[in-house]
Amino acid sequence: MLNNAKSKPNLKYCISFAVQSTFNVIFMEKQLEDLKAIREMMEKSTKFLSLSGMSGVLAGVTAVCGAAFAWFYLLQDPAATNFNRFQETLILLADALLVLTLSMSFGLYFSWKKAKKNHQKLMSRVFFTTLYHLALPLIAGGIFSLIFLYRGDIEMVASSTLVFYGLALVNVSKFTYPEVHYLGITEIVLGLLAAVFLNHGILFWTIGFGICHILYGLIMHNKYDSKK
């Protein structure tokens, strides 16, 4: 009977303790989620998070195809065709512009799809800010490269496009995923190497615009696209 008298209050204390602990755990979890929600919302409203890794992969594949065409059709020794320098330059320019247009289209398309999947508009304020910060060095680099082309310094074009593209990526990386920053640095290094090894411009171009894009695209796709 002595045992009975002691075990009842014990049970009450146990239950009360269990309820308290459960409440504490739930409470703490909510606070943790609140903090996470705050950080996520701050990022979401200031960064362009609809960038898709798939657009990088496809841009890379397009670039490799464009480079392969240029190499096998125009640039290798002995030449497969008999174009003069001016015609060659024109065809290379058209090739590069085609790769650029296709890459940008892929970029926009996959970003649009990703935004839609997350119930968001693609053309948000962050989108236009990102575009502006990307476009500035890109357009400057484009004009710079065209000047080289016009002067007949076609060897410098691969290098200058890579360097300016890398700078554009570094510039835009603060508005989007951090991987873009490292891709940018890679492109800058490749561009500088291309300026040193002037005869291998097409090789560095293929690595920079082709292989690097595929690599980084896959990494980003795995990291950011499958979740949510």
Select 105 or 120, whichever has its Cβ closest to another protein: 120
Is the Cβ of residue 37 or residue 143 nearer to another protein in the bound state?
Answer: 37
Q: What DSSP character marks residue 49?
A: -
Least distance between another protein and beta carbon 117 (Å) = 13
CB atoms within 10 A of CB 219: 16
Q: Which residues contact 223 (CB under 8 A, 6 or more apart)?
A: 53, 179
Please give the Cα distance from 167 to 183 (Å, whole number).
Answer: 10
- In whole angstroms, the minimum distance from the beta carbon of 29 to another protein comes to 10
Least distance (Å) from another protein to the CB of residue 163? 32
Token pair 């195809």 is found at 65
Of residues 8 and 119, the one with the C-beta less far from another protein: 119
Shortest distance, CB of residue 44 to another protein, whole angstroms? 6
Residues that bind another protein (CB under 8 A): 28, 31-32, 34-35, 37-39, 41-42, 44-46, 119-121, 124-125
CB of 50 to another protein, least distance (A): 12
16/87 with CB nearer another protein: 16
How far is it, in rounded angstroms, from Cα 194 to Cα 182? 18
Are residues 176 and 201 in contact, defined by beta-carbon separation less than 8 angstroms? no
| Nearest CB to another protein, comparing residues 34 and 72 | 34
Smaller CB distance to another protein: residue 121 or 223? 121
Q: Which two tokens stand for residue 9?
A: 């209050």
Query: Going by C-beta distance under 8 Å and a sequence separation of 6 or more, which residues neighbour residue 141?
Result: 160, 161, 163, 164, 165, 167, 168
Per-residue buried b or exposed e for 157-169, using 16+ beta carbons within 10 Å of the residue's own CB: bbbbbbbbbbbbb
CB 37, min distance to another protein, A: 6
Residue written as token pair 């995923």: 177
